[in-house]
Amino acid sequence: LVTIGNHAFSECIALKSITLPDTVQTIGVNAFYHNTALESASFGTGLTTIGEDAFYNCRELQTVVFRECDTPLLAIGVNAFAQAVKLETLTFSESLTTIDYGAFAGCTALESVVFPDSLVTITGGGKYTGTNGAFSGCTALKSVKFGSGLRTISNGYNGARTSDPDPYAYSGAFGNCDALETVEFNAGLVTIGNHAFSECIALKSITLPDSVQTIGVNCFYNNIRLTSVSFGANIQEIGQCAFMGCVSLNSVTFSPATTPLLTIKSNAFRNCLCLASLTLSNAMPTIESGAFYGCTMLRRVTIPSLMSTINSGVFSSMSNLKEVIFLGLPPENLENAGLAADVSIRYPSEYAEDWEEVIETCGFTNASVYEPNELAGLVGDSRYG
């Protein structure tokens, strides 16, 4: 047997178990749709395609076995196992390459997922009904471990929000996974797409590998228990509203080796109420206005030496900002950045002459130099010692 066609066993409501031979390559659209008594499914080594809605709404399905094969070709289609509400654990074989949108959406008993090294892409969904992210709404999911081959967690709908809740969270690959506490990202991952982990309200810490370049719109939106984020050396863009509403976030760390290409989009860290200090390290960021709007505890910001220009109004939303430490020459457009006249401005002694005119132009009343041996103490970071 090579092919099981579209709707072949759809609505066979007494069928309880399926074991497929290694010869089967394709399972068609709706092939086992709404088999409400189905408890287990075992797939052979030759399988390359599980079609759209193939096991949709198999509400008794508890066990899914993927047997190993030598050639990774398997693609799991749209909504293939969506609403399998009793599926608790999921370990894939090294045959898997792609998981399409909605594939395991609404599997509300699923507690852990281990992805193989062969997996390259996990897909987000779209704006409209029925286009959920691959694992969105898996409300019992606690841990996720990605394999070394993953390159892309694809975009959900490209809609950014500035108020709770995020109506497009379900379009993210892991949107609305309420119990998700641990995500082990892999070296090699490049893109984390729009809404990917939006409204994951149990996630507490994120450490991104150096390979990650892009974090999408609303990517970690409203993760209210998230306390720390560490970015790798190649981060290039933090999308609009990416960490908005992460009200417990108090530690944001950039690698000292960060490439000078970073853009922090508007509202990226909006309403991160516990964020008290920010050191941008060796990045040369473009910070859009409103990126830190509503960060009411933000008292100190360290500006890297490579930052040559500051966008207008970047600091105007930081009402409680008390100190800005510059590591290099005065950036252009500083007079329009929105800094209050009485903010403490600290600048390096080696550039004192360059700063004198800028201080007068901007009207700063609380500016002073620091010596190189004082820097580590100023920014609270031993990397500058």
Query: Does pLDDT of 129 surpass 60?
Result: no
Q: What is the pLDDT of residues 271-289, one digit of tens each?
A: 999 999 888 866 677 889 8
Tens digits of residue pLDDT in 72-122:
689 999 999 999 999 988 888 888 999 999 999 999 999 999 999 999 999
Non-local CB neighbours of 170 within 8 Å, separated by 6+ positions: 105, 125, 132, 133, 136, 137, 156, 176
Phi, psi of 184 (to 5 degrees): -100, 100
**How do beta strands 205-207 and 228-231 pair?**
parallel
Task: Of 193, 246, 244, give the one whose Cα is nearest residue 216.
Answer: 193
The whole-chain average pLDDT of the chain stands at 92
The model carries a pTM of 0.93
The mean-pLDDT minimum among 302-311, 339-348, 375-384 falls in 375-384
**What pLDDT digit, counting tens, does each position of 145-189 carry?**
999 999 999 999 988 988 889 989 999 999 999 999 999 999 999
Half-sphere exposure of 371 (CA within 13 A, CB side): 2
pLDDT at 260: 64
State pLDDT tens for residues 53-74: 999 999 999 999 998 876 668 9
